[in-house]
């Protein structure tokens, strides 16, 4: 489904929204496949959407462009917290606390970005979902570089988190946070196999996991923190081996002591009231609060990604 509408978007950007791949450009918005998600409490909070279909995805993407300037020269960069337990929110707090000296994340219009500025991490990630492919937007690149960010490839806006880590190490960073989207889950073992000296650590934040398949589970198990997104597979098969869970509707699972340290460091700065209790079994699920999903032929869509 495609909505032809002149938009202030520069270049072309492909990303996931509600489990559907979406292509946006100055010519409009195209939803490339059926959304996996039927209902999501976070999406409802941000975009006032009930039942999610292709029309709802288009409306939310248009609203995202209008409100945040996604992919536009006037792209909004806010350092305010948007998601209570978001990856960029956690990374920012932990960078300030000294757990990380840099973060390797992704921004539309820029690709892989190496940041030493905690606020820049949040500015990039506040409203972002999994970016599959992007084009350079000079104004976005300019803001990132003015804030001290380093692009992996400013000419092509290349997305490559493995190379981003290598570049960060070359720059002398030793405590690195990296975000890896679910569609790139096979990169997590590669990151883990990268030779690290004793004084270099890489903490993996596995995000945007709505479309995770059974074959991805072993890769996710090698992350430090895994966002369940709307995935039942993640809730059941990753949640069951977690050391700690934060959140209920869209839980985040800490799989390692390092991941647990990240969560506890973040909670020290968390402003809202929280409840903490022990359990013999995870995940902790409240069925009426979890996202509702529909079945899709994900294997066929993975094949089609090579043609994008």
Comparing CA positions, the residue from 4, 84, 2 lying closest to residue 42 is 84
Average pLDDT of the segment spanning 94-100 = 97
Burial zone of 256 (CB within 10 Å; 0-12 exposed, 13-18 middle, 19+ buried): middle
pLDDT above 90: residue 194: no
Q: What is the mean pLDDT of the chain?
A: 91
The structure's pTM equals 0.92
For residues 290 and 91, give the distance between their C-alpha atoms in angstroms, rounded to a whole number.
Answer: 24
For residues 75 and 177, give the distance between their C-alpha atoms in angstroms, rounded to a whole number.
Answer: 24
Residue 172 tokens read as: 């002398």
296 band by pLDDT with thresholds 50, 70 and 90: low
Residue range 105-127, pLDDT digits in tens: 999 999 999 999 999 999 999 98
Average pLDDT of the segment spanning 225-244 = 96
């Amino acid at each position: 489904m495609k909505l032809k509408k002149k938009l202030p978007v520069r270049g072309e950007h492909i990303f996931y929204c509600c489990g559907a791949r979406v292509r946006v450009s100055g010519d409009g918005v195209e939803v490339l496949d059926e959304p996996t998600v039927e209902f999501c409490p976070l999406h409802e909070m941000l975009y006032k959407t009930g039942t999610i279909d292709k029309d709802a995805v288009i409306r939310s993407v248009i609203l995202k462009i209008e409100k945040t300037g996604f992919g536009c020269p006037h792209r909004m960069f806010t350092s305010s917290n948007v998601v209570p337990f978001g990856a960029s929110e956690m990374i920012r707090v932990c960078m300030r606390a000294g757990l990380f000296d840099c973060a390797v994340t992704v921004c539309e219009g820029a690709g892989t970005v190496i940041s030493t500025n905690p606020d820049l991490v949040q500015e990039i990630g506040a409203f972002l979902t999994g970016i599959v492919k992007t084009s350079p937007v000079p104004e976005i690149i300019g803001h990132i570089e003015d804030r001290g960010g380093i692009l992996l490839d400013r000419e092509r806006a290349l997305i490559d988190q493995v190379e981003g880590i290598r570049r960060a190490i070359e720059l002398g960073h030793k405590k690195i946070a990296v975000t890896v989207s679910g569609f790139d889950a096979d990169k997590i073992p590669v990151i883990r196999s990268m030779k690290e000296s004793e004084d270099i650590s890489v903490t993996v934040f596995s995000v945007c996991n709505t479309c995770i398949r059974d074959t991805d589970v072993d890769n996710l198990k090698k992350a430090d923190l895994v966002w369940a997104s709307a995935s039942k597979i993640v809730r059941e098969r990753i949640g069951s081996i977690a050391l700690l869970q934060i959140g209920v509707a869209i839980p985040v699972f800490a799989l390692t002591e390092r991941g647990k340290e990240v969560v506890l460091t973040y909670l020290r700065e968390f402003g809202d009231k929280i409840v903490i209790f022990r359990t013999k079994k995870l995940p902790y699920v409240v069925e009426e609060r979890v996202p509702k999903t529909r079945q899709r032929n994900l294997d066929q869509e993975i094949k089609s990604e090579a043609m994008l």
